Amino acid sequence: MDGQQTFWQAAWIARFALLNGLLATIELSLLSIAIGTIIGSLGGIALQYGAWPLRALLRIYVDTLRGIPVLVLILASYYGLSLAKIQISAFTAGVVALGGFCGAHVSETVRGALGSIPIGQTEAAKAIGLRPFQRLWYVIVPQALRRMVGPWVNTAVEMVKGSSLLAIIGVVELLLATKQVIARTSIVIPFYLVACLAYLLLNFAIAQAGALLERRFSYIKA
Amino acid sequence: MVYYFNFDPVWRGFGKLLDGLALGLEMAVVSLLAGTLIGIVCAHARLSSSALVRRAVWSYVEFIRNSPILLLIFFVYFGLPEVGIYSLDKYQSFVLTLSIYAGAYLTEVFRVGLVSVPVRYVEAAKAIGLRPFQRQIYVVFPVLFRIVLPSLSNNLISLFKDTSLATAIAVPELTFEAREINTYTFRVIETWLVASGLYLATCYAIAFALRLVERRYAVIR
């Protein structure tokens, strides 16, 4: 049981490195989900109700970003932005890439949810004299929110998983922190398992939050 | 700011990019096939009468679906030698990981598919005296495949995009080759434009081809 002992010792020594990695992962995920949600809400509304030139532009944005691997987006943003004389850290480049990617996915989710609300709802809202913004805010959005929650949670989980790709451009998040600890200690499997469990817990927490939200918004029966 | 585009270094390495693309596609297709096998077996296990089997498959699916694939790639690539398995090279190790990853997603796809095969088809098959195995092969599977085909094509596309991660263990696929060109020539924008374009074009080609297949096998309603 010598190996066991060494693992716990190594884990104790590495606790701050791993915790900092976990914090960086959480920070990255939260930032990119927040940015993506803001882009996605506006983008989705514009995709559904905007004028056609705006719709066409957003369609290109959404379809392009969804058709390119996240890793390629991250590398392009990491190498490309610095070339455009924009001096940013790997962390920021990663947030830009992940946020943009998340935004494309959320745009599509929002558009789908808004589009799935029966046209009768809009007509009824018009009939009682609501203005366009009011129709959206009081009639369409409350119903659409419930349909968005599921896919939005999936995207959020994808972002947590996607943040691990920043290890490749040298952002010390949970995966790279784990790799560094493994490189120091040569204890491979236990540390990868620890990282797996951490991601698992994080994602389960998001799923739970999503289920809560879904219940919160489910007062409208379909 | 003035930027002079110079695609020459990229075009010189274009053959390598295409080789990388082909390798990525190959790995994606192999993983999809292996993942389909895993998915079909596990979907049946997920609907099994034994709670233990159900619980085990559920753990597999949730564990894989909530872990970042890059972590799984490192896990398999660096972890297997730790337990005495040295026989996998980086290609096999990556395809193994991607298959296990695809299997988890496809388990869910096939489970939903199996549930949505109408019960009366199975009852009719029973009525004409087919044995359980025959019922699966001749009645359930043809219906099942039509139901899951759109999900399969989505999965193939995302698997193809996931092959870009093989660059992390130095498998020479498209992203790896693009990084090489980027590093050696510093034609940053050109390299990533071309690489992104190749990915996009391939994804759309896959989507288009599979849309045709879907239409070919569409259920007539």
The torsion angle over the Cα atoms of residues B150, A209, A90 and B167, rounded to 10 degrees, is: -30
pLDDT higher at B209 or A220: B209
pLDDT of residue B147: 87
Q: Which residues of B touch A68 (CB under 8 A)?
A: 161, 196, 199-200
Closest CA to A69 of B102, B118, B163, B89: B163
A3 touches chain B (CB under 8 A): no
The CA angle B219-B133-B151, to the nearest 5 degrees, is 40
How sure is the predictor about B59, in pLDDT bands with cuts at 50, 70 and 90?
Answer: very high
Give the pLDDT score at B182.
87
- Residues A156-193: pLDDT tens digits? 999 999 999 999 988 999 999 998 998 888 888 889 99
pLDDT digits (tens, 9 = 90+) for B84-110: 888 888 999 999 999 999 999 999 999
pLDDT of A81 > 70? The answer is: yes
What average pLDDT score do residues B140-156 get?
Answer: 89
Q: Would you call A183 an interface residue with chain B, using a CB distance cutoff of 8 Å?
A: no
pLDDT tens column, B164-183? 999 999 899 999 999 889 88
**CATH, domain A13-216, list 3.20.10.10, 2.40.10.10, 3.40.50.720, 1.10.3720.10:** 1.10.3720.10
> Domain residues of chain A, as ranges?
13-216
Contact B68 A204 (CB under 8 A): no
Judged by DSSP in three states, A69 sits in: coil
Residue with tokens 């989900």: A33
Residue A187: predicted pLDDT: 84
> Which pLDDT belongs to residue A146?
85
SS in 3 state form for chain B? CCCCCCCHHHHHCHHHHHHHHHHHHHHHHHHHHHHHHHHHHHHHHHCCCCHHHHHHHHHHHHHHHCCCHHHHHHHHHHHHHHCCCCCCCHHHHHHHHHHHHHHHHHHHHHHHHHHCCCHHHHHHHHHCCCCHHHHHHHHHHHHHHHHHHHHHHHHHHHHHHHHHHHHHHCCCCHHHHHHHHHHHHCCHHHHHHHHHHHHHHHHHHHHHHHHHHHHHCCCCC
Around Cβ B220, how many Cβ atoms within 10 Å? 3
The mean pLDDT of chain B is 90
Average pLDDT of every residue of chain A: 88
Asked whether residue A136 carries a pLDDT value surpassing 80, the answer given is yes
pLDDT at B18 over 90: yes
The stretch B139-168 carries a mean pLDDT of 90
Cβ <8 Å between B66 and A71: no
Q: Which CATH architecture has domain B8-216?
A: Orthogonal Bundle (1.10)
Q: Which amino acid is at A28?
A: L
Question: Would the pLDDT of A220 be above 60?
Answer: no
**Any chain B CB within 8 A of the CB of A196?**
yes
- Rounded CA separation A53/B60 (Å): 46
* pLDDT, tens digit (0-9, with 9 covering 90-100), for B109-143: 999 999 888 889 989 999 999 998 898 889 999 88
Interface A-B, measured as beta-carbon pairs within 8 A, has a size of 98
- Min distance A83 CA to chain B CA atoms (Å): 8
- Residue B209 scores a pLDDT above 80: yes
pTM over cut 0.80: yes
Query: How many Å apart are CA B120 and CA B110, to the nearest integer?
Result: 19
Interface test with chain B among A32, A73, A75, by most B beta carbons within 10 Å? A75
Instruction: Inspect the interface and report whether the beta carbons of A75 and B192 lie closer than 8 Å.
Output: yes
> Which whole number is the average pLDDT over B73-88?
87
Q: Which pLDDT tens digit goes with each residue over A82-99?
A: 777 777 889 999 999 999
Tell me what pLDDT residue B81 has. 86
Q: Give the model's pLDDT for residue A1.
A: 47
Query: Mean pLDDT across the stretch B150-174?
Result: 91
Percent of chain B with pLDDT over 70: 98
